[in-house]
Every structure is written in structure tokens, then in C-alpha cells.
């Protein structure tokens, strides 16, 4: 069995009954191995278990009116606390289209096994091989990391455009609420959308779609609230093409491949935003202004990319983790961001994780405006530390290729002796590095502002719930700025 976590999708829900109890089971499928059953909840009432399975099955199939016939809250109110909580989590997983599984609960095909479709040897009987090949193809044995050239079947991409005119806000919010949607906290809502109408429409209108005989490789959306004062117009009356940019592939970014930007995409001109002057001389001790450290366009470009990728991964991981506790032994290596944070953050919820993703976005926005990324809260400090580490790794990949050949637009940026000096970035961007003490067992409890060591060192409140409180000596972010996704 693999030691890493595998991502599965629910296909059906079944019941198992014994004289003393009933269980609801999820039939899970994944690209790396056979289907498997996993327990969803256990209760003593067989009728309640059957209704729970039917409810999950109807949500999975997106049957019209399914949640009106049997509401999640209504059924959970009849279940004991533990199975009710399990049912709510299962509903969230079904709506997300993915089912988190602990390490070792799914079986992966061994490398070189018959399921890897090895070449036939020694003139093996070819009769019926066409049927076998067809069976393999129809079984959907597609690897999640496969490229187009690796996929034996055809791949269909559908780009759709849908606009909804909300003519009855209360009806919309009520319908979304009946299907399990909860509005974002009031202090996190944008002034343009104080009732979270966008969130309600997303919940109702964008469920995962299951196609028989096909596996979904990618599901993503681009959501925006149209505003006349920003020049927006409905698609039918738009004088300009309506386009959406989904950005580079996540796997390509992790593999170190340079993203190809979409035609017409407006990229930050870091050469203009962060102009540099040639050094006055080669003496490292020279204190002339031109010889002091400068934040260069190439350094900014790598740092901006690192922050943007960090935010993207954090948003995606937050949706998959939800409110669940992160368990290092289960999740190490399977998630891009949150296992890298101090352990005191492992029990945070979905909203906290989304706010951390936004912290990385805020710092990337600073660079896009030509400003140094000055953290305004503890979350931004940690996000910037992670991004500096990632940007340093990217610089190592560029290596001796000082011209950046093969690294897209990065190669067009001017060079400077201060390029990729991320040690200087750490020295210049932070007021202190107290947050890094949270990684050391020597400082266990240092996060508590009432602790003796904390007060002696003047560290301040480093508990997870205080990570988004603005520092007293900086300008706070706009609390109504909303989220990018």
C-alpha cells in the first residue's frame, strides 16, 4: 500500500445492516487502483442509515429537488451527534467531488503490474485483445498526473459561460441554505456583496458533473460580480470578448516548468516597477547609495510567482481539508502548504485556511503595485517566509543560466548582481523572525502572550486565532477586500 494519501471520488453509497447496528458505506474510485468501500457513519437505526445513504446518493446524482425532500439538517437532527457530524462531512465531500482518504485505506496498482498494460511478450495470444484493450480503456484507468500524450483515450475540454441575474435574493439565499450552504462571516464579506450572493450562486449552480465512461481531470471556475462602474457588461451586449484565465497548470508549476501566459494577459512589468541602478563599484563594503542592496526585477519575479502559487495551493488545500484537523502522518507530502506551517495551526478551520491563502495573495498584490512586501500580520509573515524559501529553490533551478534561457518572460528582465539574494530579502522585509520560533520544540508554549518566556522576549500573541490581527505599527489591510477565489 502507498504511504502517501490518494485522492478518491465517491461513486455510490450503500448500507450494511446487522442485528445490532447499521453502517453507511461509500463506494470510492480513484485513478491509481481498484474501487474500495469506506465507512461513512454507523448508527443503531437501520431506517436512518438507509435514509442517509439515499440522501447522499441523491446529492451525488444531483437529482432535482433531492435536498428538498430530505434536508441535511432535518436528518442530522434525528441522528446522534457522532453520526450526524459524519453525515455533514460526507455531504461536504460529495459536493466537493473528492473524498479525502487516510494513508493506507486505498490500494494502488503496483508498478509493472498487469494493470500498467505491459507490452505483450513471446507472441501472446492476440485473440480478443481488442476487447481487453477496450475494457481497460472503459475502466477509466487514467493516472491523475498523466499528460495528454499519456492518455489512451480522447480528452474533451468544455469551456462554458453562464451568467445569473439574481432577481429574488431571498429566494436564492433560502434555496442555497436548504442545500447546506452557509454564508461567509459578515466581517469577511465584500462591501459589494454583503449577503454573499456570489457564494450562494456558486453553491447552487456549480456542482461537480459525473459522466459515465469518463473521469474528470480538471474542474475549475472563474467567478466574478459584474459592476457597471467597472465597465462590465453582460455577455450578449459585451463589445469586447469575454475571456477567463485559469492560469498555468499546478503540476507544471510544481515540476519547475515555466508557465506560458495567455495571449493578451497583462503581466506586471517588474522592470518598470522595481528599477535598479548599476553598482557604484565592486567594493562590497561601499556605502554609496547605488552599492546598497536593491530589490531587483528578477528577484521580484520569482518571489511573486512563489506567492501566487502558494496562494493557489492554499486555496485548493483548504477546500479539500475543510474544517478537518491536519494529521502530519496522514497528510505529509499530500498537501502543498498547511503541513509546512507550525503544528499549532493543524486544528484550524476552512475559513482560517482561506484567510492564510489570501495573506499570500495580499503580498503578491504589494509586488504588483511596486511596493516591498511588508507583512501586516503574523499570517503574512509566515507566508512570506515560505515564499522566500520557494523562490530560492526556483533560483537554484535556474542555476548558472544567468540569462534565464528557457524560463519564459523571466529571461527578458534585466540582470543585476543582487539578483536572487533572498537572504537579504529576509533581512529587509521583516521586523523580526519571532514566528519561526513556533517550529522549535525548545519554545513550546511561546505563542501564549501570558507565558513567562513570551513576556520576557516581548513576542506578542502568536496563537493561531491571532495570526490575522494587524500589527500596531503598520497600515492594516482593507477588511472588506474579499477573496480572489
Under the banding of pLDDT at 50, 70 and 90, the label for residue 311 is: very high
For the chain, give me the number of helices (H) and strands (E)?
Answer: 15, 3
Tell me the average pLDDT of the chain. 77
pLDDT attached to residue 71 = 75
| Range scoring the smallest mean pLDDT among 73-82, 118-127, 161-170, 310-319 | 118-127
Nearest Cα neighbor of 247 from 160, 156, 157, 308 is 308
pLDDT attached to residue 485 = 77
Q: Which residues of 149-177 are buried (b: 16+ CB within 10 A; e: fewer)?
A: eeeeeeeeeeeeeeeeeeeeeeebbebbe
Summarised one tens digit per residue, pLDDT across range 436-464 is 999 988 888 999 999 988 888 888 999 99
Under the banding of pLDDT at 50, 70 and 90, the label for residue 410 is: confident
Summarised one tens digit per residue, pLDDT across range 147-167 is 677 677 777 777 777 888 999
Q: Which three cell numbers stand for residue 113?
A: 503490474
Query: For the residues 282-308, what does the mean pLDDT come to?
Result: 85
pLDDT attached to residue 381 = 96
The owner of cell 501586516 is 376
pLDDT for 115 beyond 80: no
Query: For the residues 222-248, what does the mean pLDDT come to?
Result: 75
User: What is the pTM (predicted TM-score) of this model?
Assistant: 0.50
pLDDT attached to residue 343 = 92
DSSP 126-172: -TTHHHHHHHHHHTT---TT--GGG-SS-------------S-HHHH
pLDDT attached to residue 120 = 40
Q: Compare 106 and 260 and report the one with higher pLDDT.
A: 106
Amino acid at each position: 500500500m502507498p504511504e502517501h494519501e490518494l485522492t478518491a471520488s465517491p461513486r455510490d453509497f450503500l448500507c450494511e445492516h446487522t442485528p445490532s447496528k447499521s453502517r453507511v458505506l461509500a463506494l470510492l474510485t480513484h485513478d491509481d487502483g481498484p474501487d474500495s468501500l469506506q465507512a461513512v457513519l454507523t448508527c443503531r437505526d437501520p431506517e436512518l442509515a438507509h435514509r442517509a445513504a439515499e440522501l447522499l446518493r441523491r446529492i451525488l446524482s444531483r437529482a432535482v429537488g433531492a435536498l428538498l425532500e430530505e434536508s441535511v439538517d432535518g436528518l442530522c437532527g434525528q441522528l446522534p451527534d457522532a453520526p450526524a457530524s459524519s453525515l455533514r462531512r460526507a455531504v461536504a465531500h460529495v459536493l466537493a467531488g473528492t473524498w479525502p482518504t487516510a494513508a493506507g485505506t486505498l490500494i494502488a496498482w503496483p508498478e509493472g503490474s498487469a494493470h500498467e498494460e505491459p507490452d505483450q511478450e513471446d507472441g501472446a495470444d492476440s485473440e480478443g485483445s481488442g476487447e481487453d484493450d477496450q475494457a481497460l480503456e472503459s475502466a477509466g484507468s487514467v493516472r491523475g498526473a498523466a499528460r495528454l500524450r499519456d492518455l489512451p483515450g480522447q480528452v474533451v475540454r468544455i469551456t462554458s459561460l453562464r451568467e445569473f441575474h439574481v432577481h429574488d435574493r431571498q429566494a436564492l439565499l433560502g434555496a442555497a441554505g436548504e442545500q447546506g450552504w452557509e454564508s461567509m462571516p459578515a466581517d469577511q464579506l465584500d462591501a459589494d456583496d454583503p449577503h454573499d450572493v456570489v457564494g450562494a450562486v456558486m453553491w447552487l449552480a456549480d456542482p461537480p458533473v459525473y459522466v459515465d465512461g469518463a473521469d474528470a481531470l480538471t474542474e475549475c471556475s472563474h467567478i466574478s460580480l459584474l459592476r457597471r462602474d467597472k465597465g462590465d457588461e453582460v455577455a450578449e451586449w459585451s463589445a469586447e470578448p469575454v475571456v477567463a484565465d485559469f492560469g498555468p497548470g499546478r503540476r507544471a508549476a510544481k515540476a519547475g516548468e515555466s508557465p506560458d501566459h495567455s495571449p493578451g494577459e497583462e503581466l506586471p512589468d517588474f522592470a518598470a516597477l522595481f528599477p535598479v541602478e548599476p553598482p557604484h563599484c565592486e567594493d562590497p563594503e561601499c556605502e554609496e547609495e547605488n552599492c546598497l542592496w536593491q530589490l531587483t526585477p528578477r528577484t521580484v519575479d520569482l518571489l511573486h510567482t512563489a506567492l501566487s502559487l502558494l496562494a493557489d495551493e492554499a486555496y485548493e488545500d483548504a477546500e479539500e481539508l475543510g474544517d478537518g484537523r491536519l494529521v502530519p502522518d496522514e497528510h505529509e507530502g499530500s498537501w502543498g502548504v498547511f503541513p509546512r506551517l507550525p503544528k499549532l495551526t493543524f486544528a484550524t478551520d476552512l475559513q482560517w485556511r482561506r484567510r492564510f491563502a489570501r495573506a499570500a495573495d495580499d503580498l503578491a498584490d504589494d509586488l504588483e503595485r511596486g511596493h516591498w512586501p511588508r507583512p501586516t500580520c503574523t499570517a503574512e509573515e509566515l507566508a512570506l517566509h515560505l515564499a522566500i524559501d520557494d523562490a530560492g529553490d526556483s533560483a537554484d533551478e535556474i542555476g548558472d543560466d544567468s540569462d534565464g534561457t528557457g524560463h519564459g518572460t523571466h529571461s527578458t528582465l534585466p540582470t543585476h548582481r543582487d539578483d536572487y539574494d533572498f537572504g537579504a530579502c529576509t533581512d529587509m522585509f521583516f521586523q523580526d523572525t519571532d514566528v519561526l520560533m513556533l517550529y522549535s520544540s525548545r519554545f513550546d508554549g511561546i505563542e501564549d502572550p501570558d507565558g513567562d518566556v513570551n513576556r520576557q522576549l516581548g513576542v506578542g500573541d502568536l496563537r493561531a486565532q491571532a495570526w490575522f490581527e494587524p500589527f500596531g505599527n503598520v497600515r492594516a489591510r482593507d477588511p472588506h477586500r474579499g477573496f480572489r477565489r
